[in-house]
Structure 1
Amino acid sequence: MGTQSYENVYSREKALSKLRGQIRTSEEIVALAAPVELVPEIEDVLADAIDRGVLVLLLLASNNLSYEDVAEREFPATIVRYWEQHGANVTSSMVDYHSGLVTVSQLHDPDADVGRTLTYDDEFFGNMQLTSLVVNFWRRGDEIYAADPRPLPHTYDSFFYAVVDAAKRLRDRHDLYATVEVAGENRAYGDVVDGPVINVRQNIVFPMTNSFPSENNIFVESDHGVVSVGGPSGTVEDIGASAVKLYEGEATTSG
């Protein structure tokens, strides 16, 4: 699982520097719940992450702004949801499943009281934090922006990103196919599974279609029948995916 490290930070400037550094080095995913007012402090590194092809999920909150106020703004993100929260606005970030921070300090406000910010580098904690964000808080917000899916064909190393884009395309009634490279040692369906994508169950982009809180998967109609596909460490699906190619057109033969 790699090296785990934790640090308590009591400086606004250092906490912001940690957050910016985590986003700056992101390669796959940034999931961030934060006050709307924090975004200008990290807007440039979020935009750079988008340019690198990183999936950026923002759950924003404010005690002062309405949904309409926030919906008029543009944010450097793949998906933005807004929650008209009342009370303390927690900032919680998760980057590439292994690093992030949590704080109730108002990092955007230099005049606010400075509390503790916990920063970490721990894959176990990072996955727990992402699950907590998606399961407990993501649905509380309303979607105000979802970027167009990537042009096809495209091969996704990030299964999460493949699920999001597949959901968008099925929502818009596109004919969609997938070639899945199978992860792990389960070869009951071969090394590669491909065919039409007939369903996506997920809880990230509107409309949410999951049947249990943390469900994010793709269903492919293959030579083996309908196969459920999860991420590399998926346990409830038929197979896990190390990579997913999405495309329009005729499917090739399964491996």
Structure 2
Amino acid sequence: MTTDPGDPPDAAVNVDVDVEELLKRFGLSDKEVDTYLTLLEHGEAKASTVAEAAGVSKRYVYSASEELAARGFVTVNDHVTPTTIRANPPGEVVDRLANDAQSMRPALEARFSRAEAATEPFEVVKSRVTVVKRIRQAIGEAREEVALSFPLDSIDEVADELRAAVDRGVLVLLIVTGVDEPNGDLPTDLAGMTSAARAWGQLMPSMLTVDNRAGVIAPAEMLERSNSSQQAIVLTQEQLAPVIVGSFIGNYWPAAAEAVVTDPAPLPATYGNFRHATFQAELHRRAGGTFRAQVVGRFVDSDEPVELEGEVVGVTQGLVAPATNEFPVQHTLTLDVDGERVTVGGPGAFVEDVEAEEVELTTPSS
């Protein structure tokens, strides 16, 4: 909104609002906010100019600019040399955001009026149909990671959601339970449903975690029988979801037999989920050739932010057999950074040098 110089003082624009925090509410990361605000100050600039002013790498400016352009914040002029990035007029940006928000309202209200999802941290579910519905819904909302154990006889009920998650680039770890012969009983199209799958001979509780924020625990009997008296628990408490995935990866995954491991994803690729980055790094390591990692995170000892890049010279993991980690939930990348070995871990890292927030895997030529 613009104001006329003749407008009274109470119509003036409020410049004291926390614009950085407001931009974050629209999904921009800290560095995307810094990049965008720097561009606003320059109007139009080269990536190197923005990188220096915002205190980020030039590679990051290009990556952030693509995201900002997709959301209508900036325009990337890649038809000129060198490439420049121009901030779009703020009025157009605000109008677009407002229109997007208004266009969501009918769909959100329609979902809200018929929603059955729990609003409490815990929901006790007595119906098999409802449990499967909750599992399918959670998988459909996954953005980074799905860890699921599910009976072989019922796998078709969640197959479409699993395939869609894989297509979105989600790390899908699947334990198929009640499998008598791992090499003969599994579906022929299991590879399309998962990043890595394992088989468990006995029935086990069905467990689901999605993005470390939501989970489901259901007794095996409940999913085997429609008239079971057993009850399932659906939780949305972020503090407990990591406990479930820790049990899934630490207790059940190592004991199950490896059945499917997909091919490595094309590089370059960026991962906010560190287990996914480690999984892909191990696949590329086994495929041969050299590849690098660019890491954004913090030093574990000092809590100071850090950006580093180096060749991946070691992968410690337990997602692909044989496991190379010392304890089940340990996943580590070892980088050669200017001749120095630096270890990188995920959230909560304590044995590594760096805790990563984001990892980009690249080939030397990318």
- 1:179 is displaced (CA, Å) by 0.8
2:209 corresponds, among 74, 86, 94, to 94
> CA separation of 1:247/1:26 partners in 2, compared to 1, >3 Å: closer, same or farther?
same
The one-letter code matched in structure 2 to 1:90 is P
The one-letter code matched in structure 1 to 2:274 is F
Q: Confirm or deny: 8 A CA contact 2:222 2:230 kept in the other structure.
A: no
Structure 1 unpaired stretches of 5+: none
Indicate the SS of the match to 2:253.
helix
Q: Confirm or deny: 8 A CA contact 1:47 1:77 kept in the other structure.
A: yes
Rounded to whole Å, the distance in 2 between the matches of 1:177 and 1:42 is 35
- 1:42 is displaced (CA, Å) by 0.7
1:104 corresponds, among 204, 219, 234, to 219
- 1:193 is displaced (CA, Å) by 1.1
- 1:122 is displaced (CA, Å) by 1.4
Normalised to the residue count of structure 1, the TM-score between the two structures is 0.88
Aligned position for 1:39 = 155
Aligned position for 2:353 = 238
The one-letter code matched in structure 1 to 2:359 is V
- 1:188 is displaced (CA, Å) by 8.2
- 1:185 is displaced (CA, Å) by 8.0
RMSD: 2.3
More moved, 44-53 vs 169-178? 169-178
Relative contact order: is structure 1 or structure 2 higher (C-alpha 8 Å, sep ≥ 6)?
Answer: 1
Deviations 1:91-142 (A, max 9, x none): 0111110111111144554545241001101122110111111111101111
Aligned position for 2:123 = 7
Q: Confirm or deny: 8 A CA contact 1:60 1:83 kept in the other structure.
A: yes
Rounded to whole Å, the distance in 2 between the matches of 1:250 and 1:201 is 25
Aligned position for 1:128 = 243
1:24 corresponds, among 137, 140, 145, to 140
- 1:224 is displaced (CA, Å) by 6.8
Aligned position for 2:174 = 58
More moved, 195-204 vs 165-174? 165-174
Aligned position for 1:84 = 201
2:316 corresponds, among 201, 207, 231, to 201
Which has the greater radius of gyration? 2
Structure number with higher helix proportion: 2
Aligned position for 2:287 = 172
Give the ranges of 4+ consecutive aligned residues of structure 1 lying more than 6 Å apart after TM superposition: 184-190
Structure number with higher strand proportion: 1
Q: Confirm or deny: 8 A CA contact 1:7 1:118 kept in the other structure.
A: yes
The one-letter code matched in structure 2 to 1:80 is A
The one-letter code matched in structure 1 to 2:134 is K
Q: Confirm or deny: 8 A CA contact 2:298 2:305 kept in the other structure.
A: no
Deviations 1:47-87 (A, max 9, x none): 11111111100011116x311223462220100011212xx
> CA separation of 1:159/1:103 partners in 2, compared to 1, >3 Å: closer, same or farther?
same
Q: Confirm or deny: 8 A CA contact 1:199 1:220 kept in the other structure.
A: yes
- 1:207 is displaced (CA, Å) by 2.3
Q: Percent identity?
A: 28
Rounded to whole Å, the distance in 1 between the matches of 2:305 and 2:138 is 37
Indicate the SS of the match to 1:242.
strand
Deviations 1:15-37 (A, max 9, x none): 11111111111111000112112
Rounded to whole Å, the distance in 2 between the matches of 1:211 and 1:198 is 18
> CA separation of 1:122/1:222 partners in 2, compared to 1, >3 Å: closer, same or farther?
same
The one-letter code matched in structure 1 to 2:233 is L
1:157 corresponds, among 262, 272, 275, to 272
Indicate the SS of the match to 1:27.
coil
The one-letter code matched in structure 2 to 1:166 is A
Pairs aligned (count): 246
Indicate the SS of the match to 2:251.
helix
Rounded to whole Å, the distance in 1 between the matches of 2:141 and 2:151 is 22
Structure 2 unpaired stretches of 5+: 1-118
Indicate the SS of the match to 2:159.
helix
